[in-house]
Amino acid sequence: MSKTDKHYNDISCRDGLEILVGFQAMDNFLRSTNNKWFRHRLSVVTYFVTAAFALLFLRLFYLQVIEGTEYRQLSENNCIRLQNIEYSRGLIFDRNGVLLVDNRPSFNLNVVLSNAKPVESTIGKLSQYTNMPVDGLTSQINDIKGISCYKPFLLKQDIGRDILAAVEAHKYDLPGISVDVKPKRHYMLGNSATHLIGYLSEINANELKDKKHNENRPGDYIGKFGIEKSFEKYLTGKRGIRHVEVNAVGQVIRVLKTVDAEAGDNLYLTIDERIQRKAEELLEGKAGAVVAMEPSSGEILALASSPTFDSNIFVSGMSHDEWENLISNPNRPIENKAIKGAYPPASTYKIITAIAGLEEKIIDINTSFYCPGYLTHGNRKYMCWKRGGHGRVNVVRALAESCDVFFYNVGQKLDIDRLGWYAKSSGLGSPTGIDLEQEGAGLIPSTTWKRKRFGFPWTSGENLSAVIGQGYNLVTPIQLLLLISEIANGGERIKPLVVKKIMSPEGKLIIESKPEKLGRIPASQKTIDIIRQGLCDAVNKNYGTAYRSRFGGEIEMCGKTGTAQVVSRKQDESNYDKKITAYLHKSHALFVCYAPSNDPKIAIAVIIEHGEHGASSAAPIAKELVQAYLNPTNEENQTSSNEAVDYNPIYD
Amino acid sequence: MIDRRLVQNFDWKLLGLTLILSLVGAMTLYSAVTSGKSTIHDVLFYKQIIWYTVGIVLMIFSFLFNYKAIDRWAFIIYGFCVLLLLLVLFFGKYAGGSRRWLIIGPITFQPSEFAKLAVIFVLARYYSKTASTNGLCLSELIVPVILCMIPFVLIVLQPDLGTAMLILLIAASMSLFVKIEKKAFVFIIASISVAIPTIWFFLRDYQKKRIITFLNPEHDPLGAGYHIIQSKIAIGSGMISGKGFLKGTQSALSFLPEQQTDFIFSVFAEEWGFIGCLILLLVFFMFIARCLKISYGSRNPFGAILSFGITAMILWHIVVNMGMAMGLMPVVGVTLPFISYGGSSIIIILTSIGIMLNISMRRFLFD
């Protein structure tokens, strides 16, 4: 410590070390690094370094010496391939566990050109064994020559058992030819519940870019419509993978490693397959929709839209003509009319008018108006559907008989925006939130809407069309179903459910649907009771519009008929002949109902396009459905009640 | 100007090892890029020769001046590197899912490679002033943590997990080397073991999945797992004596991903076998030992810590890269020093060797 820095340069290395050891005493080794402490730390580092190199050495020894022969073999064959293991998509059952959608194996015939040499003779033999025309195969091969030599190319998809057997039997005579198995979606019901379940189709370029499909690859099938689409993330599984060793001609010698595919979750729908089929049977040959629901839980029991189509054609691929037929059909089979079709609510809207009138104190239970068959408003005569008139009626009887004049009277005093508020608060004119894509909104007009849309103010005459559900009003069948369910529930609006529960492939419960309250009809219990009485009388009193569809005794059904005048669509008409034009001018038939009246178990909305009268074509369908649901055993006995006296003309 | 003793003290052994390794590197790269018979890759070999030349010039330059200048310039170099890292995030070239390269005129380089050296510089400067035999206490660790986290975060954002992890490893090695107080050490270990499960809890499922795949590549047999299997086959198939130079089949048929960078060791191992690998390991071991000796010999704390930092950087590169190729570690983009293709990597390594030679030469100079 006595020496100064200046002297360091002149002393030898060894001397320097000794001098510097003197600094050891100092706490901070900053002054020097040459001390025991520093040396100790470096020697610890040396152990670490040695250990790290020893580890690398041991690993090398293991890979190259112990496992060397094994790896050499693998590398010489150059033979590790990756194979996908397709997952099985979740199954779909109805509420009682009846299987609706399944996967079946489908066999595809592939060729890997580089392995199929000599190609000519291989193709010749393939044709000989399978009876597939040699010309077709050769032209297919010529198309792909030079494009994908090393990758499997699909020769024929979904081959039959005979070709499969032939190829498997002559496997070793057919180099480069292979058969792979892929699960294919199978809709067991064919064209039943198609609109609800939906279908799968090949993923397109836009969907591939979407983040939610980042696990998908071109060629994958994904849900495109209905539940298949909206529950895609549960139904889809996870692809597995297999590392295999192949020989020179691409045949698998052994499997090195397998990561199993994970199956998708199984869905249990709320629909009852029996009711669904019944609804479709009743819609056969008609265009329209039937939706049925358990009012207290919101569980959809049946959701049928007619005409329908077979979902299976989307999976196996359809011809251009088949597709053209589907989309050019004037009855729009692809559209799910139950949630997308927008129709004038017609007389079913009188439920809203009655509620608004009662709640706004324009009328009460005792208020009655005289119906001479028409009402003069301004300088125009507004007709009641019943030419002779209904005489003096109160609100209950007006609902039962669907008296237009009574509601015209209410409409004269009712503000249209107020009426609209009651309709919207009851769920009309906006999507219900059902878990299906493409739900329609419908339309509940208001004064501001009209001014914006047409530039004219609302006229008081339009009030009179609005109160009986004509004019601009448009609703979807599912909205009407919710409205009638609200009446059945005493005012609660429950979200319609299509899936009851989701189970993992191992049978573990993942999600169980619970009734979800969406809101409440803005009406007092008293008002609702009055409406219920009116709806009850409409079916069960001999003056009711749906008297023909009453039950004999054990079940009391409540309902409301509707007949929606069709606003003609000029440009459409020119395309069809007279007979079709006449059909297109016929009114739509509507019926909403619930049963039994004291403890509602089922609510139904029926719309038959151009069915003319709600009472004659929509109500009987609802009746049969109620019958099938509540009284499945004695369906046959009940039909006799239709023979009852036909008091009412079928009109409203 | 040049002191006679500087020439006397020149570490010829380190230079010799460097040249041997560079030669092995050039040879292996030649095999990796030509055996696939694709002409595009040939260019890579000649490019690499240019990088070696540039690197050697920089190496010479970096032992000419007195390394103590680095002490003074450490923070300026560091600041410049952070600036480059920021520039990369905004103006960098986007390739293969990340933004790592800056293009200035004809030169494309990876600022994250330079950031490694910059972190070593500032930490060496800081620790040479603060370290004591008692070890660093918590408050003394705040600055190094910040110094290391800035480039770490910027590099993770690119994202380049491999380089970011390497910076953490280097910084941790240097801090442990200068000793951390027992209390502080226990505190750090405890807080890490609390933080990791907490962060894990807040991660989303897909993020968790990505980390699991990262740590266990076999989990993703399509991507990283496939590469690992192919790399293991390449290494294992070399057996004891190897398949011979230019006779590797795994690399020839392009089974190996990134065979000229991350998986270059697999190419070497396939062609030279266990014997070749053993020799390579030994050369690397001698190289590291030589570097540690330089650290040991340095009388100046800054020089000692700086040379230790550089040694740690090279060591971690070797261990992580080889470990990854042999399926011992997660697949991260870390190069094998001297051997992997890559301009920035070669230049940084050779510059570092220059600094090591510098420290070694001036071990008896005090000023």
Return phi, psi of residue B67, to 5°: -60, -15
Structure tokens at A637: 């006995």
| Alpha-carbon span A253 to A81, nearest angstrom | 11
* pLDDT exceeds 50 at position A133: yes
> Which residues in chain B have their CB less than 8 angstroms from residue A238's CB?
none
Q: Do the Cβ atoms of A200 and A227 come closer than 8 Å?
A: no
* Residues A561 and A582 sit within 8 Å (Cβ to Cβ): no
| Structure confidence at residue B223 as a pLDDT band (50, 70, 90) | low
- Say whether B274 and A16 touch across the interface (CB within 8 A): no
- CB under 8 Å, gap of 24 or more: what pairs does A392-397 form? A392/A368, A393/A368, A393/A369, A394/A365, A394/A366, A394/A367, A394/A368, A395/A354, A395/A357, A395/A358, A395/A363, A395/A365, A395/A367, A395/A530, A395/A534, A396/A365, A396/A530, A396/A533, A396/A534, A396/A537, A397/A534, A397/A537, A397/A543
A29–B131 C-beta distance less than 8 A: yes
- Cβ-nearest to B326 among A46, A60, A82: A60
CATH of domain A273-326+334-643: 3.40.710.10
Q: Is residue A131 classed exposed, middle or buried when 0-12, 13-18 and 19+ CB atoms within 10 A define those classes? A: exposed
Full-model pTM? 0.62
Distances (CA, A) of A101 to A92, A194, A262, A274, A280: 5, 11, 18, 15, 18
β-sheet bridge partners, residue A149? none
pLDDT digits (tens, 9 = 90+) for A532-587: 999 999 998 888 888 888 887 778 899 999 988 876 544 454 555 666 677 777 88
What's the rounded mean pLDDT across residues B237-254? 74
Q: Which of B220, B237, B256, B263 to mutate to test the interface with A (most CBs of A within 10 A)?
A: B237
Question: Which residues lie below 8 Å from residue A608, measured CB to CB, with a gap of 6+?
Answer: A283, A286, A287, A288, A588, A589, A590, A617, A618, A621
CA distance A309 to A312: 9
**What are B343-366's pLDDT values in tens digits?**
888 999 999 999 999 998 887 765
Chain A residue at shortest CA distance from B324: A56
What does the mean pLDDT of chain A come to?
82
Question: Which of A63, A80, A82 is facing B236, going by the closest CB pair?
Answer: A63
In this structure, what token pair is assigned to residue A30?
A: 């900053």
Q: Which residues of A touch B274 (CB under 8 A)?
A: 60-61, 64-65, 68
**Of residues A333 and A19, more confidently modeled:** A333
Q: Are the C-beta atoms of A355 and A314 separated by less than 8 Å?
A: no
The answer to whether A600 and A572 are in contact (CB under 8 A) is no
CB–CB contact B301 A32 (8 Å): yes
Kindly report, residue by residue over B12-65, the tens digit of the pLDDT.
Answer: 999 999 999 999 998 888 888 776 544 556 778 888 899 999 999 999 999 888
Mutation target for B interface from A18, A24, A45: give the one with most B CBs within 10 A: A45
Write down the pLDDT at residue B166.
Answer: 92
Residue A40 has a pLDDT of: 83
Domain range list for chain A = 5-58, 82-190+237-268, 273-326+334-643
Instruction: Using DSSP bridges, classify how beta strands A153-156 and A199-202 pair: parallel, antiparallel or unpaired.
Output: unpaired
* CA nearest neighbour of B353 among B58, B72, B119, B112: B58
pLDDT number for residue A407: 92
pLDDT value of residue B365:
62
Give the span between the Cα atoms of B65 and B365, in whole angstroms.
13
Average pLDDT over residues B215-224: 63
pLDDT score of A623 more than 80:
yes
Nearest CA in chain B to A240: B221
Structure tokens at B258: 């990134």
User: What pLDDT is stored for residue A267 in this prediction?
Assistant: 93
| Chain A partners within 8 Å of B295 (Cβ) | 42
pLDDT of residue B102: 85
Is the model's pLDDT at B267 over the cut of 90? no
Q: Who contacts A283 (Cβ-Cβ below 8 Å, separation ≥6)? A: A289, A290, A304, A306, A608, A621
The yes-or-no verdict on residue B242 having pLDDT over 80 is yes
The closest alpha carbon to B355, from B51, B117, B59, B84, belongs to B59
What percent of chain A stands above pLDDT 70? 86
Burial A448-485 (b: 16+ CB within 10 A, else e): ebbeeeeeeebeeebbbbbbbbbbbbbbbbbbbbbbbb
What average pLDDT does the segment B103-115 reach? 85
Segment A507-529 mean pLDDT: 90
- In angstroms, rounded to a whole number, what is the distance separating the alpha carbons of residues B39 and B27? 17
Name the more confident of A645 and A348: A348
What local confidence, expressed as pLDDT, does residue B68 receive? Answer: 87
Q: Are A116 and A291 in contact (CB under 8 A)?
A: no
Q: Judge whether A82-190+237-268 and A273-326+334-643 match in fold.
A: no
**Beta carbons of B366 and A8 less than 8 Å apart:** yes
Cα–Cα dist A144/A137, whole Å: 11
Q: How many CB atoms lie within 10 A of CB B177?
A: 22
Of A168-172, B23-27, B252-256, minimum mean pLDDT range: B252-256
Phi, psi at B297, each rounded to 5°: -80, -15
Secondary structure of A199-233 in HEC code, one letter for each residue: EEEECCHHHHHCHHHCCCCCCCEEEEEHHHHHCHH
**Mean pLDDT (chain B, rounded):** 85
Interchain proximity A38–B239, CB inside 8 Å: no
Q: Is A373 helix (H, G, I), strand (E, B) or coil?
A: coil
| Helix A134-144 vs helix A119-130: crossing angle, to nearest 10 | 140
Close Cβ partners of A553 (under 8 Å, ≥ 6 residues apart): none
Q: Side-chain half-sphere of B181: how many Cα atoms within 13 Å?
A: 13
Residue B54 distance to chain A (closest CA, Å): 30
Q: Please report the pLDDT score of residue A20 as a whole number.
A: 42
Best-predicted range by mean pLDDT among A81-90, A205-214, A390-399?
A390-399
Q: How many CA atoms lie within 13 A of B223 on its CB side?
A: 11
Q: Do B133 and A57 touch (CB under 8 A)?
A: no
Contact (Cβ atoms closer than 8 angstroms) between residue B168 and residue B152: yes
Residue B224: which pLDDT band, with cuts at 50, 70 and 90?
Answer: low
Q: What angle do CA A418, A497, A183 make, to 5 degrees?
A: 140
Smallest Cα distance from B355 to chain A, Å: 18
Q: How far is CA A152 from the centre of its chain?
A: 34
- What pLDDT, on a 0 to 100 scale, did the predictor assign at position A351? 92
Q: Where residue A167 falls among pLDDT bands split at 50, 70, 90?
A: confident
Write out pLDDT tens, residues A449-475. 888 888 888 888 888 888 888 888 899
- Report the distance separating Cα A410 and Cα A420, nearest Å: 14
The pLDDT of residue B210: 66
pLDDT of residue B220: 62
Res. B230 pLDDT band, cuts 50 70 90? confident
| The token pair that represents B72 in the structure block | 């003074």
B106: exposed, middle or buried (Cβ count in 10 Å: 0-12, 13-18, 19+): exposed
Least confident of A75-79, A165-169, A495-499, B187-191: A75-79
Amino acid at A51: A
Q: Which range (A281-285, B199-203, B250-254, B305-309) has the least confidence?
A: B250-254
Give chain A's length. 652
- pLDDT greater at residue B203 or residue A505: A505
The CATH superfamily label for domain A82-190+237-268 reads Penicillin-binding protein 2a (Domain 2) (3.90.1310.10)
Bridge partners of residue B258, in order along the sequence: none
Of B131, B239, B250, the CB nearest to A68: B239
Average pLDDT over residues B224-253: 77
**B250, B299, B366 member nearest A75 (Cβ):** B250
Question: What average pLDDT does this structure show over B268-295?
Answer: 93
Helix, strand and coil percent figures for chain B, each rounded to 5:
70, 5, 25
In chain A the first and final C-alpha atoms are separated, in Å, by 119
* C-alpha span between A497 and A516 (Å, rounded): 9
Distance (Å, rounded) from C-alpha B67 to C-alpha B356? 9
**Mean pLDDT along residues B175-196:** 89
ipTM of the complex: 0.92
SS3 state at A618: helix
A63 and B301: CB-CB below 8 Å? no
For range A344-351, the mean pLDDT: 91
Give yes or no for residue B157 having a pLDDT over 80.
yes
The sign one gets for the Cα dihedral A475, A478, A479, A484 is positive
**How many other C-beta atoms lie within 10 A of the C-beta of residue A216?**
17
Taking residues A40-49, report their average pLDDT.
90
How many CB pairs (< 8 A) connect A and B? 145
Confidence of residue A26 (pLDDT cuts 50, 70, 90): very low
Band of pLDDT at residue A651, cut at 50, 70 and 90:
very low
Question: What is the predicted pLDDT for the residue at B179?
Answer: 86
CB contact under 8 A, A29 and B322: no
pLDDT at B71 over 80: yes
Task: For helices B264-297 and B301-325, give the axis angle rounded to 10 degrees.
Answer: 160
Select the residue of B129, B237, B253 nearest A71 (Cβ to Cβ).
B237
Whether A616 and A650 have beta carbons less than 8 Å apart is answered as yes
Q: Name the residue type at position A569.
A: R
Facing residues of A105 across strands?
A183
Is-contact A480 A590, C-beta < 8 A? yes
Q: Which two tokens stand for residue B314?
A: 């090279």
**Contact list, B364 vs chain A (CB under 8 Å):** 8-9, 13, 16
pLDDT at B147: 94
Residue B94 banded pLDDT, cuts 50, 70, 90: confident
pLDDT at B55: 93
Q: Which of A278, A300, A342 has its CA nearest to residue A481?
A: A300
Which long-range CB contacts under 8 A does A131-140 form with residues at least 24 apart?
Answer: A132/A156, A132/A163
**What local confidence, expressed as pLDDT, does residue A525 receive?**
92
Q: Which residues of A touch B253 (CB under 8 A)?
A: 78
Give residue B290's pLDDT. 93
Residue A21 has pLDDT above 90, yes or no: no
For A68, the token pair is 């060397």
pLDDT at A119 over 90: no
Which of A3, A60, A69, A244 would best serve as a mutation to test chain B binding (most B beta carbons within 10 A)?
A: A60
Under the banding of pLDDT at 50, 70 and 90, the label for residue A268 is: very high
For residues A586 and A565, give the distance between their C-alpha atoms in angstroms, rounded to a whole number. 7
pLDDT of residue A11: 37
The first and second tokens of residue A542, run together, are: 């001999």
